[in-house]
Amino acid sequence: MTTLLADVVATSAEVGATRSRKSKIESLAALLRRLGPDEVAPTVAWLSGELLQGRIGTGWRTLAGVTTGAAEEPGLTVAELDATLGELAAASGAGSVKRRADLLSGLFGAATPDEQRFLRRLLTGELRHGALEGVLTDAVAKAAGVPIAQVRRATMLAGDLPTTARAAIIDGTGALEAFRLQVGRGLKPMLASPADSLEAALDELGEQVSVEYKLDGARIQLHRDGDAVWVFTRSLRDITDSVPELVELGRSLPCRSVVLDGESLAWSDSAPEGGSEPGEVGRPRSFQESMSNASTGAHKPRFFDCLHLDGVDLLDAPLRERLTALGRVAEAHLMPGVIAPGGAAAVNLLAAALDAGHEGVMVKSLDAPYMAGRRGKAWQKVKPAYTLDLVVLAAEWGYGRRTGKLSNIHLGARDPDGGPPIMVGKTFKGMTDALLAWQTDQFSAHALADDGRVAHLPPEFVVEIELDGVQVSRRYPGGVALRFARVQRYRDDKTAADADTIDAVRALLPRNPDQPRNPAADHTEGPA
Digit-coded pLDDT (tens) for 442-461: 999 999 999 999 999 999 89
* Alpha-carbon Rg for the chain in angstroms: 24
pLDDT-derived band at 395 (thresholds 50, 70, 90) equals: very high
Same domain for 37 and 171?
yes
Return the number of other C-beta atoms located less than 10 Å from residue 148's C-beta. Answer: 12
Q: In terms of pLDDT, which residue wins out, 136 or 510?
A: 136
Digit-coded pLDDT (tens) for 183-193: 999 998 998 98
- 214 tagged catalytic: yes
**Beta-carbon-side half-sphere exposure of residue 98 (alpha carbons within 13 Å):** 2
**Which pLDDT does position 299 carry in this prediction?**
67
Same domain for 375 and 396?
no
Average pLDDT rounded to a whole number, residues 335-349: 91
Q: In terms of pLDDT, which residue wins out, 358 or 216?
A: 358
Same domain for 214 and 128?
no
524 vs 1: CA distance, rounded Å: 52
Domain boundary among the residues 142, 177, 212 is at 177
Classify residue 292: in a domain, yes or no: yes
Same domain for 426 and 469?
yes
Contact between residue 387 and residue 525 where contact means Cβ atoms under 8 Å apart: yes
- Domain holding 302, by residue range, is 191-379
Average pLDDT rounded to a whole number, residues 450-476: 91
Average pLDDT along the chain: 86
Most trustworthy range by pLDDT among 112-116, 154-158, 522-526: 112-116
Say if residue 464's pLDDT is above 90: yes
**Which pLDDT does position 511 carry in this prediction?**
52
| Encoded amino acid at 316, one letter | D
**Which pLDDT does position 130 carry in this prediction?**
58
Classify residue 183: in a domain, yes or no: no
Q: What is the CATH number of the domain that holds 109?
A: 1.10.3260.10
225 vs 31: CA distance, rounded Å: 40
Give the per-residue SS3 of 248-261: HHHHHCCCCEEEEE
Q: What is the CATH number of the domain that holds 232?
A: 3.30.470.30
Same domain for 24 and 124?
yes
Same domain for 273 and 372?
yes
Say if residue 274's pLDDT is above 70: no
Q: What is the CATH number of the domain that holds 453?
A: 2.40.50.140
DSSP state of 265: E
Say if residue 471's pLDDT is above 60: yes
Least confident of 200-209, 279-288, 342-351, 482-491: 279-288
Among residues 72, 73, 64, 69, which one has the least CA distance to residue 107?
A: 69
75 vs 216: CA distance, rounded Å: 51
pLDDT-derived band at 272 (thresholds 50, 70, 90) equals: very low
Same domain for 296 and 332?
yes
Same domain for 47 and 156?
yes
Same domain for 296 and 237?
yes
pLDDT-derived band at 346 (thresholds 50, 70, 90) equals: very high
Total structural domains in the chain?
3
Say if residue 379's pLDDT is above 60: yes
Average pLDDT rounded to a whole number, residues 383-412: 90
115 vs 417: CA distance, rounded Å: 24
Catalytic pick among 24, 142, 188, 214 = 214
Most trustworthy range by pLDDT among 66-75, 300-309, 396-405: 300-309
Domain boundary among the residues 331, 359, 379 is at 379
**Which pLDDT does position 281 carry in this prediction?**
38
**Which pLDDT does position 46 carry in this prediction?**
94
Strand partners, 194: 381
Percent of the chain with pLDDT over 90: 61
Say if residue 34's pLDDT is above 70: yes
Least confident of 23-27, 50-54, 224-228, 252-256: 50-54
Same domain for 142 and 225?
no
Domain boundary among the residues 364, 379, 394 is at 379
Which DSSP string do the residues of 220-241 spell out, in sequence order? EEEEEETTEEEEEETT--B-GG
**Which pLDDT does position 19 carry in this prediction?**
82
Classify residue 431: in a domain, yes or no: yes
Q: Are strands 191-194 and 375-382 parallel, antiparallel or unpaired?
A: parallel
**Which pLDDT does position 400 carry in this prediction?**
75
Same domain for 270 and 306?
yes
Classify residue 136: in a domain, yes or no: yes
Entry field: residues in the chain: 528
Classify residue 182: in a domain, yes or no: no
Say if residue 115's pLDDT is above 90: yes
| Encoded amino acid at 344, one letter | A
141 vs 465: CA distance, rounded Å: 36
Classify residue 186: in a domain, yes or no: no
Say if residue 245's pLDDT is above 50: yes
**Which pLDDT does position 209 carry in this prediction?**
96
Average pLDDT rounded to a whole number, residues 138-162: 92
119 vs 139: CA distance, rounded Å: 22
Q: In terms of pLDDT, which residue wins out, 196 or 179?
A: 179
pLDDT-derived band at 357 (thresholds 50, 70, 90) equals: confident
Say if residue 101's pLDDT is above 50: yes
Say if residue 391's pLDDT is above 50: yes
Which DSSP string do the residues of 452-485 spell out, in sequence order? SSEEE--TT-EEEEEESEEEE-SSSTTSEEEES-
Q: What order do you get walking across the sheet with 360-365 strand by strand?
A: 191-194, 375-382, 360-365, 209-214, 337-339
Classify residue 184: in a domain, yes or no: no
Contact between residue 514 and residue 377 where contact means Cβ atoms under 8 Å apart: no
Most trustworthy range by pLDDT among 15-24, 48-57, 387-396: 387-396
Classify residue 185: in a domain, yes or no: no
Contact between residue 306 and residue 236 where contact means Cβ atoms under 8 Å apart: no
pLDDT-derived band at 129 (thresholds 50, 70, 90) equals: low
Same domain for 284 and 343?
yes
